[in-house]
Amino acid sequence: MTEPSRQTSWNDHLNLRAAGTSLVLDCAGDGLPRVLHWGTDLGRLTDEDVAQLRLAQQQSPRPSQTDTPVPLALLAEQSSGWMGTPGLTGHRAGTDFSTAFTVTAIEEVDTGPNVATAVTVTATDTDAGIDLALGIELLISGLVRMRAAVTNTGVGVFDLHSLDLNLPVPSEAEELLDLTGRWGRERAQQRHTFTQGTHLRESRRSRGLDAALIMAAGRRGFSWRSGELRAVHVAWSGNTRTYAERLNHGASTLAGGELLLAGEIRLDTDETYTGPWLYYSHGEGLDESASRFHRYLRSRPEHPTSTRPVQINVWEAVYFDHTLDKLKELADVAASLGVERYVLDDGWFGSRRDDTSGLGDWVVSRDVWPDGLGPIIDHVHGHGMEFGLWFEPEMVNPDSDVARAHPEWILAARPDRWPPEARHQQVLNLTIPEAYAHVRDQMLAILREYRIEYIKWDFNRDLIEAGTQSTGRAAVHQQTLAAYRLMDELLAAQPGLEIESCSSGGGRIDLGVMARCVRIWASDCNDPLERQLIEAGTSMLLPPEMVGSHVASPVSHTTGRAHTLDFRAGTSFFSHMGIEWDITSAEPEELDRLRQWIDTHKKHRQLLHSGDVVHGDHPDDAYWLHGVVAADAGEAIFAVAAVRSSPLNAPGAVRVPGLDPTRRYRVTPLVPGATGRRRRDGKTAWWEHGLTLPGRVLDRVGVQMPNLNPEQQVLLHLSSV
């Protein structure tokens, strides 16, 4: 075991500052850093200021507790007296179950293009035989992100059970918000009081139709525009745990990490486990917290800089019924509407005539495509559109050539006990080199044979009893890394390729997978009424240009509800817009209207996909206000939608937030957005011709809106004058 030694000197504190955020760390002594403040920027602090802040934050001893104050480090340790959830749990054949880390170095490291300050803390516990490395970064958007790595330096295997990091939240954080849902109803908000104890959200599916995604703690009643809050996100596409914890001595935290299955991480001597990044945001209201994520994502080199193309996905138009004439006709109509990308979905390969067979055999079906995919791809490119293709690389049907040849490649705890099937499929164990090579090589063969600009990457089942048959060991962690590696290899081999993350809709949209993907499919539900709230929940993490939203059939295939074309198109208008509808069956007047919507989206998408996302806090929840304000506040587009009937006859005055209070704005209806009913007395209402008001008036007083029936909306364009 290595003896602790100070590799470099460091100050007794760090004050990291960027974009209105301060993270003040107490580094005095040999223990892991403690947080003196995380939240609104405190400005420049002198050494004496920090000394006094440290003194101000010390708790006095409490009856029936430890005689000295209990410090809460970024990684919580029971050895310090912390009686909440410890940050690291594990053992070495039953020993070394508790750590007491001594810091050996704190060093500022080179930053990336989107990082304001980055610090690495190294520490060791020589008795337990474990080294720790903490990465702490303050991003230019004001996000804090952290991750930890542990190395076994002792003799014998160390079984790691959990590695969680935390940041404290103030006692004023009285309410918790996180997200939940199901297929077709993802990312619904749920709230409850932040009481004593642990509010734990675990995702054991390796995807997240019902995952927390974001967990926020804030003042009671915090909303989109008001109320101080703090939030955490675990950037990992496997199993995760996120929790809020409040102890009886007053400490409250937001924490998280990877959820490790039993025996999944067993570290031999000198082996290292690195946990996922945890992202922490704060703000006055959910919009400000979300904007920090959006600005970070937009600052990355891998964020798409090209205009997001309007696309058509043919799934709900043809499902598995692939015929060249029909698919060409869809391309012809799409091109006439101004569509810029065409995506061929499930059913082009192997024996895949329905969802019961063929998955895993990534070879073009000669039964359906006797001349290969060339005829449809050439036809699409002939219209000037990009071509995209659907894959589900991690999955396999038992009724497939690959599964029959290699049943040992199925992800399962035992050879004689496969997991229950879901959508008639199992999971291919990509941790087996031969299975990984099979998928990679078949995909690369398709991508090299044809000109394909885009992959829709699906993931349609939960991971259950996900292990390697030959060893009986759990394999979710390694399977997740293998999926990342496969994406990375394809992107490196095919420069310019784009990947969409889909998982029965929006089941995999974390910032781990989004380091490789430029778009997510928010939900398999294209019902615009459901989409209003699904996409609101999604906006807490992702900006609109990364969220696929499609204009679907007049009658929703998932809910059976009928909606007007204006409501369907107006809902998808703000995001990465697309179509999922058999437009060959549409009436000419429907196509003309859809063409108007697409033209208007193209005209404004630079604003829609670069501005700040804003939501209103209208008191009547029958009405939903959201929009985008340009970064310089010179322009904005808002929608007011009636999502249900209201006991009131009209919405009343609707405040328009997020504008520059000192500027005057011209407010006009955005055609072809619905404008509601005209006044019955025949007089002209303001929304017929527009009005001009200062931003502070629009925010503090608002404007009356036209009467809106349920599932009707009005779009407004605001420009500074």
Does 4 score more than 60 pLDDT?
no
Q: Using an 8 Å Cβ cutoff, are 208 and 507 in contact?
A: yes
Quote the pTM value: 0.96
What number is the average pLDDT over the span 156-182? 97
Of 313, 306, 2, 242, nearest to 128 (Cα)?
A: 2
Q: Which two tokens stand for residue 536?
A: 């609101």
Report the C-alpha gap between 196 and 244 in whole angstroms. Answer: 10
Residue 515 is classified by DSSP as G
CA distances in angstroms from 128 to 94, 102, 153, 665, listed in the order given: 12, 12, 9, 64
Of 516-520, 567-571, 641-645, least confident by mean pLDDT is: 641-645
Largest separation between any pair of C-alpha atoms in the chain: 87
CA distances in angstroms from 379 to 78, 325, 336, 383, listed in the order given: 65, 11, 14, 7
Catalytic residue among 458, 527, 566, 660: 458
Does 7 score more than 80 pLDDT?
no
Report the C-alpha gap between 19 and 40 in whole angstroms. Answer: 9
Report the C-alpha gap between 68 and 72 in whole angstroms. Answer: 13
Map out the domains of the chain with their CATH numbers: 13-299 (2.70.98.60), 311-608 (3.20.20.70), 613-720 (2.60.40.1180)
Q: Which two tokens stand for residue 126?
A: 């020589």
What number is the average pLDDT over the span 598-609? 98
Q: Using an 8 Å Cβ cutoff, are 191 and 175 in contact?
A: yes
Does 3 score more than 60 pLDDT?
no
What number is the average pLDDT over the span 337-345? 98
Angle (CA) 338 340 342, round 5° = 115
Q: Using an 8 Å Cβ cutoff, are 601 and 577 in contact?
A: yes
Residue 36 is classified by DSSP as E
Confidence class for position 476, pLDDT limits 50, 70, 90: very high
* 61-99 confidence digits (pLDDT tens): 777 777 777 888 999 999 998 999 999 999 999 999 999
Residue 499 is classified by DSSP as E
Provide the pLDDT for residue 440. Answer: 98
* 272-306 confidence digits (pLDDT tens): 999 999 999 999 999 999 999 999 999 999 999 89
Catalytic residue among 178, 361, 510, 524: 524
Of 90, 72, 272, 296, nearest to 166 (Cα)?
A: 72
* Helix, strand counts (H, E) of the chain: 13, 40
Confidence class for position 1, pLDDT limits 50, 70, 90: very low
Strands (E), 560-608: 576-580
Does 5 score more than 50 pLDDT?
no
Active site residue 681: no
What number is the average pLDDT over the span 573-597? 98
* 643-701 confidence digits (pLDDT tens): 999 888 888 899 999 999 999 999 999 988 755 555 566 666 888 789 999 999 999 99
**Helices of type H across 58-119:** none
CA distances in angstroms from 590 to 332, 362, 564, 582, listed in the order given: 16, 37, 10, 12
Percent share of the chain, pLDDT over 90: 89
Provide the pLDDT for residue 71. Answer: 83
Q: Can you name the residues that pair with 417 across neighbouring β-strands?
A: 414
What number is the average pLDDT over the span 40-55? 95
Active site residue 321: no
Confidence class for position 11, pLDDT limits 50, 70, 90: confident
What number is the average pLDDT over the span 147-162? 98
Is residue 605 helix, strand or coil? Answer: helix
Q: What is the DSSP string of 177-208?
A: EEEE--TTS-SEEEEEE--SEEEEEEE-SSS-
Report the C-alpha gap between 405 and 485 in whole angstroms. Answer: 24
Which amino acid would we find at residue 423?
A: R
Does 10 score more than 80 pLDDT?
no
Average pLDDT, the chain: 94
Phi, psi at residue 135, to the nearest 5°? -105, 125
Q: Which two tokens stand for residue 108?
A: 């500022």
Provide the pLDDT for residue 677. Answer: 54
CA distances in angstroms from 190 to 120, 179, 186, 239, listed in the order given: 36, 6, 12, 21
Q: What is the DSSP string of 316-351?
A: HHHTT---HHHHHHHHHHHHHHT--EEEE-S-SBTT
Does 598 score more than 70 pLDDT?
yes
Q: Using an 8 Å Cβ cutoff, are 139 and 129 in contact?
A: no
